[in-house]
Amino acid sequence: MTAARVINCPNCGGSIALKAAGYSISVACQYCGSELDVANPDVLLITEYHRAAAASDLPLGARGTVKGIEREVVGWLQRSDGEARWSEYLLFNPYAGYCWLIHADGEWSLGTMLTAEPVALGEETVEHEGECFHREYDPVPTRTDAVVGEFYWRVRAGDTVEATVYSDGNASLSWERSADEVNWTLLEPLPSCGAVPAAFVAGQAPRGPSGPPGGPPQFGRKQGSVPRASSVPATDLTPVARRSDAGDLSAMLGMAVATCFLIALVAMMFGAGGRPVSQGLTIYTGQPAQTATLATLTLNRPYQAVTVTARGDAFVNKWVDLDYRLVDRRTQRSIDAYGLMEYYAGRDSDGPWTEGSHQRVTKFAAVPAGTYDLMVEASAQNWSNPSVTSYGWGSASGATGESESVALRFEVKPGGVFLGNILLFVLLTFAPITIWIVRRVHAAAGGYRS
């Protein structure tokens, strides 16, 4: 991949091949753990250690293809934050640069350093490439416990930074703040955990401080446990496709539409009732209310709606009060409902106008099973002055004394569909999507920018 510079550890004498010579600043000897300054032509010993390197899954020098680019493991960090411990592998390609493989909780992810800082949308939300990421927890001290290999900055065991993670539900953004800088890294999940070690095979191992060529086991692996190959395996590690907001939105819209369809279907099924019963009644304006029994209904389902549709003849400037009473024959308890039918017409400076309808639908809800008599108490009034708007509050204000007939026809039907219910559930179904879209639009406009 690139010509390696070989140095010897000043502490243990181990042979260390610098894979990113010219880029690397510090190296942690994979044999004794000593930290070396390789930015200086005379390799300096920063910190001397005499310990076995900790175990890791990928040996230094292992090569694999990530996102179609051959990369080599040049460094490894073991880090912890008090609750969890994980491994970070620094990968290098002389043309593509550095990236990270992170192994935490059995999951692998690919880390790409961000060159541009995500846009802060609020205290706990940032935006990166159109995706919103929400902070998962407050920043916690994160310590580097072990260092092996070469790095493009000075790193040593015991280094501590403040770190947290922002997530969009799929990918994550790692935020780290040290004394002098802030780093952002995009973490994209990689496919099944076994695929990553399988995709990396050991490269040419350097010679250790003693023993035969091939040296001591790297990263605690038993010698020979990692297949050595001169060629890079064909497996290409590609992050699991990120499910974009647009993808989620289309999925949610599809689910919402399907839910609304099912809600309407269920309402239609339960709303189906028996055969309608029709009954006529003629009333007169200005006269006392007339009472009539419209139908006798037998409701078999545990609970059912009852729909009463009243239609009037072509009356004008009149209203009809309809007081219904659904009386249970067994208990004589009644369920009351009220309907108002009104129709007005006139002419004013804007021309002719009409208001109201000659039809009124009244629905009873949650009527228990039983046999019921539906009675109506109907009264009609004339509205006196079409040229002047008149309001009455529970009285027939504006009514004239002339008595005119109003022919009514009632259709009574067990069952009924409450369109208001359907509309309510449709609104509730789309509410989360609407809120999400509004928040996105608001965020895109900088509304949450602090």
Tokens linked to 139? 């920043």
Among 116, 234, 314, 366, binds another protein (CB under 8 A): 366
Interface with another protein (CB under 8 A), residue total 67
CB of 402 to another protein, least distance (A): 17
Residue 136 phi/psi, 5-degree rounding, is -90, -30
201 secondary structure, DSSP code: B
Binder to another protein among 55, 120, 251, 438 (CB under 8 A)? Answer: 251
Check binding of 381 to another protein (CB under 8 A).
Answer: yes
Tokens of 16: 């260390």
What kind and span of H or E run contains 380? Answer: strand 359-382
72: amino acid identity, one letter: E
One-letter amino acid for residue 144 of the chain: T
Interface with another protein, residue 182, by CB under 8 A: no
Name the residue nearer to another protein (CB basis): 170 or 183: 170
- 30 or 362: CB nearest another protein: 362
Instruction: Candidates 169, 194, 280, 447: give the one binding another protein (CB under 8 A).
Output: 169
Please select the residue that binds another protein; options are 3, 120, 241, 365, rule is CB under 8 A: 365
**C-beta of 258: minimal distance to another protein in Å?**
8
Q: Does 54 bind another protein (CB under 8 A)?
A: no
Does position 213 bind another protein by CB under 8 A? Answer: no
Is 398 a binding residue for another protein by CB under 8 A? The answer is yes
267-326 residues in contact with another protein (CB under 8 A) are 267, 269-271, 301-305, 319, 321, 323
Distance (Å, whole) CA 421 – CA 425:
6
What lies within 8 Å, CB to CB, of 288 at 6+ separation is 379
* Per CB under 8 A, 440 contacts another protein: no
Q: In this structure, how many other beta carbons lie within 10 angstroms of the beta carbon of residue 132?
A: 22
* Kind of pairing between the strands at 236-237 and 63-66: parallel
How far out from the chain centre does Cα 368 lie? 41
For residues 285 and 399, give the distance between their C-alpha atoms in angstroms, rounded to a whole number.
9
Residue 407 tokens read as 């022919």
Whichever of 195 and 433 has its CB closer to another protein, that residue is 433
> What is the token pair recorded at 332?
């004589």
The whole-angstrom separation of Cα 92 and Cα 58 is: 14
* Least spacing, CB of residue 370 vs another protein, in Å: 13
Looking at 154, 243, 333, 347, which residue binds another protein (CB under 8 A)?
Answer: 243
Q: Which is nearer to another protein, 286 or 346 (CB)?
A: 346
Q: Cβ distance 145 to 69 under 8 Å?
A: no
> Of 117, 177, 224, 338, which lies in the binding site for another protein, with binding defined by CB under 8 A?
338
Cβ closer to another protein: 25 or 337?
337
Q: Does 263 bind another protein (CB under 8 A)?
A: yes
Which residue do the tokens 């064909």 mark?
234
Does residue 120 touch another protein according to CB under 8 A?
Answer: no
Cα Rg, the chain, nearest whole Å: 40
Can you tell me the distance from the alpha carbon of 81 to that of 99, in angstroms, rounded to the nearest whole number? 21
* 369 binding another protein? (CB under 8 A): no
Q: Give the three-class secondary structure for 426.
A: helix
| Closer Cβ to another protein, 94 or 271, answer by number | 271
Nearest to 186 by CA among 353, 62, 67, 269: 67
Binder of another protein out of 52, 55, 340, 407 (CB under 8 A): 340
Nearer to another protein, 392 or 447 (CB): 392
Measured from the CB atom, is 59 or 339 closer to another protein? 339
Minimum CB distance to another protein, residue 356 (Å)? 8
34 touches 47 (CB < 8 A): yes
Cα separation of 217 and 226, whole Å?
10
- Structure-token pair, residue 156: 């040593």
Nearest distance, CB of residue 184 and another protein, angstroms: 22
Residues near another protein (CB under 8 A) are 169-170, 243, 248, 251-252, 255-256, 258-259, 262-263, 266-267, 269-271, 301-305, 319, 321, 323, 335-340, 342, 344, 346, 348, 353, 355-356, 362-367, 381, 383, 386, 389-394, 396-398, 416, 418-421, 424-425, 428-429, 432-433
